[in-house]
Amino acid sequence: LTGTSPQFGNRGMTLEEDLNETNEYYLQTGQAVIHKKPTPVQIVGVDYPKRSAATITEAYFKQPSTTDYNGVYSGKYIDFEAKETRNKTSFPFGNVHEHQVKHMERVVNQGGIAFLIFRFSPTQEVYLYDASHFIYWFREQKERKSIPKNDIEEKGHLVPQGLSPRLDYLQIIDRVYF
């Protein structure tokens, strides 16, 4: 453990698990309605056995055409993608797809609140980083395929971590977007 490790970090939970728990907490406390979208699947074969549930026997993963999470907070549309990296000094954006970036641009143009939640697993730091900055790195500069960590530290917002909710990103949304 280093000095930068958040108190509740390193519990072996994936970022997705932490966010699902957080969203469930927001749902149960009536603070926000935000869900992870189901994994898109192309269904090819289905069996309908008598007296039991339909069984999908052949299907394939499809590329998602949007981001991972969306929902509503105080009437406003919230949309984000969550990504984890083992890098220490930058966030590679290779695994964010073109149509996900396109989706973020559309959400921004439509006045929605769009951002990414990044976790640096070596230090367990989690940042909320507005989509506009991400779009800049992805679209406007050609030198590199990653975002320097110091830009994320400077323009992003460290998400407070705790037991419940684990990643209290609504605190940041309140401060930054309202």
Q: Confirm or reject binding of residue 27 to a copy of itself (CB under 8 A).
A: yes
Contact 34, 170 (CB under 8 A): no
Can you tell me the distance from the alpha carbon of 44 to that of 60, in angstroms, rounded to the nearest whole number?
Answer: 8
109 binds, among Mg ion, a copy of itself, none (CB under 5 to 8 A by kind): a copy of itself
Q: Confirm or reject binding of residue 77 to a copy of itself (CB under 8 A).
A: yes
Q: Confirm or reject binding of residue 115 to a copy of itself (CB under 8 A).
A: no
68 binds, among Mg ion, a copy of itself, none (CB under 5 to 8 A by kind): Mg ion
**Least distance between a copy of itself and beta carbon 89 (Å):** 32
Candidates 143, 140, 137; CA nearest to 156 is 137
Can you tell me the distance from the alpha carbon of 174 to that of 177, in angstroms, rounded to the nearest whole number?
Answer: 6
**Least distance between a copy of itself and beta carbon 88 (Å):** 30
Burial of 171 (0-12, 13-18, 19+ CB in 10 A): middle
82 binds, among Mg ion, a copy of itself, none (CB under 5 to 8 A by kind): Mg ion
Can you tell me the distance from the alpha carbon of 158 to that of 65, in angstroms, rounded to the nearest whole number?
Answer: 28
Q: Which is nearer to a copy of itself, 67 or 85 (CB)?
A: 67
Report helix, strand or coil for 21. Answer: helix
Q: Confirm or reject binding of residue 169 to a copy of itself (CB under 8 A).
A: no
Looking up tokens 């069996």, which residue turns up? 47
178 binds, among a copy of itself, Mg ion, none (CB under 5 to 8 A by kind): none
Residues 58-97 that bind Mg ion (CB under 5 A): 68, 82
Residue ranges binding Mg ion (CB under 5 A): 68, 82
